[in-house]
Structure 1
Amino acid sequence: MSKMKERFKAINKLLDGMTTAKEKVIVGLYKKCFNEMYALLHKQYKQYQTDGILTFETMIKQNRLKKFETKMIQLLTMLNKDVGSTIYEHLRNVRLQGYYRSSWIIETMSKVKLGYRTVPTDVLEKSIEHNFTGLTLNDRLEKQRKEVIIRLRETVTRGLHEGQSIQTMSRAVQKDMGVSAGKANRIVRTESHRLIESAKHESVEHANKSGVIMVKEWNSSEDERVRQKHKANHRILNGKKLFIHEKFKQGLGEGDGPGMMGVAIHDINCRCFLVYEIVRIVAKTHEELAKLTFEAWMRERLVA
């Protein structure tokens, strides 16, 4: 593998590590919410249970169940807000890091002054809210909030009708919260991947237009989890090289690269990535660029 390919692969490793760390933060937010919900549930059992059993008939008296559900929804709404802000912060970070680190690699290895600029706020926000599934990120987070509310209301109501103990009901609530946390982290993983790959590609597109002609290569994770379906076969795409302006085409998908194929069957939970290499340079070179560290490049070469 060429040095440039290795550096692009290192970008993915760095940013994937950031994503994994953020997933743990989100799981922590769900655990905190569950603990608060358990305390709320425990209070109902302590006040209204008979021999360790809390019944539906008891809870519908004096609107107790409705009041409990209102407080539960408040907790989930706050959770959704915290998760949403955590996801947005992370996606902004990986989008910028993907673009700037790719730009640094290209300039220092091509030794061409390419005039990279800081990413405007409106461009950053637009890239985050891209909706290949027909739903924006905000839409998906709100959809998930409503789904977990319905699921938990059903779980609690069923538990009350069955006369479940607090231990049994809390385990069911915890399971529902775990499912929701998993879905939130799938959003984080999928969207982070899309933004990293699109940021790298955008940086390379700029270089390509400025005289540094490059090709891209699809890389799969080369394990048993790589998708291998007629409508989305990433084993076939592995190792395929194209010029930057060309589109990868396979099954139902067509796009610039992994995470950008435009259909969920290709893009959801995709772990493939692009690496790049220079095929020719048709611009003036500057030897001093080769020695710049990423930090020095950010200070000296990035134009506001």
Structure 2
Amino acid sequence: MNQQEINQILDEMEKKAEKDIEVVFNKRLKAILAQMLEMHRKFGRNGEASWTDVNKYNRFNQEMKLIAQQLNADYKAIIKLIRESEERLYIERYLMMAYLLQQSTDEEMGFKIPSVEMIQAALANPVEFLTLPKVFEAHRNDIIRRLNIEIAQSFQAGESYTDMAIRIENAMGWTRKKAILVARTEGGRIKSQVDLAIEEQASKTARLTKVWMSSLDTRVRKSHRMLDGQKADKDGYFHYGAWKSKAPRLWGVASMDIQCRCHTIYMVNGKLPEYRRGRDYMDDTYQKQLAARIDAYMTDLGLTYRQAFNKAYKQVKPPSVTVPFMSYEEWRKQLSEEE
């Protein structure tokens, strides 16, 4: 196990949460379309409903009120989904990172299963207006307002059900993307909070240094590409211009935090931690060769830290070794029994 593999496992967990959010919005879209189809059937002639008939006896407002109530319940469900996902992310990242660091050193680091209080403190956004209920309250109000406008304009223009459906699908697609963006940003913030907790505990017995690792693709913002490969200062901060942060997504600046896909890579006592059966990844010679190859690829080929790491990792091989091996599952079970 290494940090790249841990990141990949957690990325898959986040994708699962995003798919669950999409399911909620798809169900609501289907229900709203069915509701509008029924209105066209009841009040329409030749496939078109009359605004006069739809608006008579407060019918339109009653239908919009029903949509608002349903969306309110949907957003409550989405908040619950995200919070459950965040809790899983916190626990899994904390334990996997703890296992990796513990098994990569000879020191007992004193890791324990995170308490409920520890997790809740990490989940709480310190900025009041950026908490999930506040953010999604604004999103819910926006989509209700937009649906009211789109549906009313469609009826007033005498559009067919098909034209109205396109309007509704576009509106729901817009709010679905915003919800997934929030989930992605919050998931990243939680992973960074975990890293700080791991760093605090592991630093009691080992020397930890950390490096900023950007994503591979061209969608990486300029500031984060410039941060790529930067080592944190003696106080644990990364620097960009006048700003500083101890981890990705913790700058407190929207342009630096939103939808950031960067990671922190930790080095323990100057070595990149990795633990597998039959291989000594903490061997001094191997670690020096790996570090030198990474630096060379970044300097000579202009690769990002992640690209250089992946390329060097494939080429530099650690020595074989016969030592007792404890799997992550065995280690986690043992940790639970000690609680």
Instruction: Say whether residues 1:225 and 2:219 are aligned partners.
Output: yes
Which residue matches 1:183?
178
Per-residue displacement from partner, 1:81-125 (whole Å, max 9, x unpaired)? 221111111111111111111111111111321221222223312
Correspondence for 1:297 among 309, 313, 331: 331
- Correspondence 1:263 to 2:297: no
Distance between the aligned counterparts of 1:226 and 1:167, measured in 2?
A: 38
Does structure 2 retain, via aligned residues, the 8 Å contact 1:108–1:291? no
Partner residue in 2 for 1:139 = 134
Structure 1 residues 113 and 49, CA, compared in 2 at 3 Å: closer, same or farther? same
- Which residue is equivalent to 2:77? 82
Q: Does 1:247 align with 2:237?
A: yes
Taking the TM superposition and a 5 Å limit, the aligned residue runs for 1:152-191 are 152-191=147-186
The separation in 1 between residues aligned to 2:332 and 2:254, in whole angstroms, is: 35
Shift of 1:158: 1.1
User: Is the Cα contact below 8 Å between 2:108 and 2:205 reproduced in 1?
Assistant: no
Higher RCO structure, 1 or 2 (CA under 8 Å, sep 6+): 1
Aligned residues: 287
Q: Distance in 1 between matches of 2:163 and 2:251?
A: 43
How does 1:113-152 map onto structure 2 within 5 Å? 113-132=108-127, 134-152=129-147
Q: What's the CA shift string for 1:253-303, capped at 9, x where partnerless?
A: 32111111221111101011011111269xxxxxxx972221122122355
Aligned letter for 2:213? N
Computing the radius of gyration from Cα coordinates, the structure with the larger value is 2
Q: Which amino acid aligns with 1:157?
A: A
- Of 225, 231, 235, which residue of structure 2 is paired with 1:235? 225
Q: Does 1:200 align with 2:234?
A: no
Letter in 2 for 1:40: Q
> Which of 33, 43, 47 is residue 42 of structure 2 equivalent to?
47
2: CA distance, partners of 1:110 / 1:249: 29
Q: What RMSD over aligned residues (CA atoms) do the two structures have, in Å?
A: 2.0
Give 1:21's match in structure 2, choosing from 9, 16, 19: 16
Confirm or deny: 8 A CA contact 2:113 2:335 kept in the other structure: no
Deviations 1:197-235, CA, capped at 9 Å, x for gaps: 221232122110x2211100000113211101xxxx111
Gapped regions of structure 2 (runs ≥ 5): 272-322
Amino acid aligned to 1:212: A
Identity across matched positions, percent: 24
- Per the normalisation by structure 2, the TM-score is 0.80
Q: What is aligned with 1:284?
A: none
TM (normalized to structure 1)?
0.89
Residue identity matched to 1:217: V
Asked whether 1:68 is paired with 2:63, we answer yes
Q: Shift in Å at residue 244 of structure 1?
A: 6.8
Q: CA deviation at 1:19?
A: 0.9
CA positional deviation for 1:249: 1.6
Within the alignment, does 1:216 sit opposite 2:210 as a pair?
Answer: yes
Q: Closer, same or farther in 2 for the Cα pair 1:69/1:134, shift >3 Å?
A: closer
SS in 2 for 1:270: coil
* Alpha-carbon contact 2:129-2:135 (below 8 Å) kept: no
